[in-house]
Structure 1
Amino acid sequence: MSLLQPFGPNIWIVDGPIVESAGFAYPTRMAIMRLDDGALFVWSPVALTSTLRTAIDALGAVRFIVTPTCMHHVALPEWRTAYPNALLYAAPGSRDRRKDIAFDADLIDDAPTAWAGQIDQVLMRGNLIATEAVFFHRASGTALFADLLQNFPPDWFEGWRKLVARMDRMIGAEPQAPRKFRIAFSDRKAARESLARIHAWPVEKVLMAHGAPITGNGAAFLTRAFAWL
C-alpha cells in the first residue's frame, strides 16, 4: 500500500505510529489537502519520517499545518523544523499546552483567505476537554474529525482497557462520540450552534484520526452520530 493513500480529489491520508495517551494506545492519522494554487494543507500531522517527507514534497510545497485540537501536538516540533516557512495554526488551548512551539496563527470559526472556499471550518464549542476545529474539504466532500468521533476495532484493547473503552463508546458498530466528550459538553447550546454549521455541509465522507473512515452517506452518519446532542 502506498504511504500516501488517496481519499478523493486532492486529498490524501497517512496512517502514523501508535501513540499513548492516559495509558491507552491510539493509532494516528493525518490528511493532506492540495489547494488550488498547489500549496499543501496538512491536518493533524503524524510523526515525520524521511520517507514520508519525500512523498509529501512530491505532492507540492507544505504551506499550512494545523492541529485540530490541543491534544494533537506530539509531532508538531519536527514539522516546525522541517517546514520553517509553513504557517502553523493552533487550535484553542494549543499555545498553553505547548509553550515551546512558535505558532503563527489561531484557528477560528471561519477559514482564512488562504483556503477559504476550498476548506471550511468551525470550532466545536462548549466542551471542557477541548475545543476541536472540524474541517470540511469541499472537493472531496470530506468532513474531518480529530477526537470527537472515534471507533476502535473490538480487539484493539485488552483487559480492563477494553472494558473502559466499551463503556466510553470508543468501541461500537460505527464511530461515536466518546462518553467522556459527551459529558464534557457543559454548554450544549454553543455545541448545537457549531453542529448546525457542520450539518449544513454537503458531507459525503467522514475522516477521523482514530477510526476507520466513513466513505459514503456521510451526512446521514453525522446525523446519527450526534443525535444525542
Structure 2
Amino acid sequence: MPDSALTAVVDDEIWTLDRPVWFSGVRMRARTTVVRLDDGSLLLHTPAPPTDGLTEQLRALGPVRWLVVPNCWHHLGAPAAAAHFPDAKVVGPASALNRNKALKLHMDIHDAQFGEQVPEFEALPLQGVPFWDETVLYHRPTQTLLGADIVLCAGAKDHWTLRYAARITGFYERVRVPPDARKKIPDKAAAARSIRAMLERPAQRLIVGHADVIEEGWRDDLAQAWRLEGVKV
C-alpha cells in the first residue's frame, strides 16, 4: 500500500488511507479518514503515523487541525501525528490514555465542547461496550457515519492471514461485530439504543476501520451484525 494513497470518498470533502497493521497474528487494513471541515481545515479520524508522502498530500488539502482517536484501541498513530501537526487538537476517550502513555488529549471526545467547536459533526457514543469505549461521528454535510471497530468485514483484497481468520470466525465477506468483542457487551440494551441512534441518521455511507466503505445496504448490514450478538435493534 503506497504511503500517500489517499482515496476520495466524497469529492473535496472526505478521503481515506488504508495501511497494513499486525494485530493478534493477522495483517489487517487499518483506515485513516480525512475530512475537510467547513473552515477548510482537516480532521483526521484514526490518524496514521505521518510519512512524507501523506504529509505532502494533506498539506495540499488544508491545515490539519483535529486528530480524533475514536476508541481506546485506535490510538497508535496519534502521538506521532500530534508531534508532526503541533497545531492540531487531539480528541479521544480518556480510556485510551491507559493504553498509550505517549498519548496526550486536548479534549475528551465525550465533552460537549467538541461538538461546539466542530459543529458539522454529531458524536454518537456506543454505550454498553466499555471494551471499546467507541464514539461514532456523524458528518452532517456529507451524511457520513465514521466509526472504527463497530463492525468489520474481510474480503479478497485482504492479506491471507486475515482471510483465514475471517473464514473461521465468520466475517469473510460478511459485515460482523469483531470476534474479540462478541462476549464483551455487558449492557445489550444500551448498545441497542446506541446502534438505533446511528441507524436513524440520514447517512449515505458507513466508514469503519477494517472494511471497505459500506454504502448500499449499510443499515441492514449494521443492524444484522449486532442482532447476531443478541442486541435487539
Q: TM-score, normalised by structure 2?
A: 0.86
1:115 corresponds in structure 2 to 118
RMSD of the TM alignment (CA)? Answer: 2.2
The residue type paired with residue 197 of structure 1 is A
1:76 corresponds in structure 2 to 78
Q: Deviations over 1:148-197 (max 9, x none)?
A: 21111257334xx756433433323x321123323210111221221222
Q: For structure 2, which runs of at least 5 residues remain unmatched after alignment?
A: none
Equivalence map 1:5-154=2 (5 Å) = 5-9=7-11, 10-16=13-19, 18-108=20-110, 111-116=114-119, 118-153=120-155
Distance 1:128 1:101 in 2: 19
Q: Is the 8 A contact 1:129 1:181 kept in 2?
A: yes
Distance 2:77 2:29 in 1: 13
Change (3 A) 1:180 1:108: same
Q: Is the 8 A contact 2:175 2:222 kept in 1?
A: no
The residue type paired with residue 26 of structure 1 is M
Distance 1:219 1:170 in 2: 17
Tell me by how many angstroms 1:215 deviates.
2.4
1:168 corresponds in structure 2 to 169
Tell me by how many angstroms 1:92 deviates.
4.3
Q: Is the 8 A contact 2:154 2:163 kept in 1?
A: no
Q: For structure 1, which runs of at least 5 residues remain unmatched after alignment?
A: none
Matching of residue 221 in structure 1 with residue 221 in structure 2: yes
Q: Is the 8 A contact 1:108 1:122 kept in 2?
A: no
Tell me by how many angstroms 1:221 deviates.
3.2
**Residue-pair matches, total:** 224
Q: Is the 8 A contact 1:203 1:218 kept in 2?
A: no
Q: Deviations over 1:35-66 (max 9, x none)?
A: 11112111011231111101101111111100
Distance 2:23 2:88 in 1: 27
The residue type paired with residue 170 of structure 2 is R
Distance 1:195 1:50 in 2: 38
Q: TM-score, normalised by structure 1?
A: 0.88
Distance 1:213 1:80 in 2: 26
Tell me by how many angstroms 1:68 deviates.
0.9
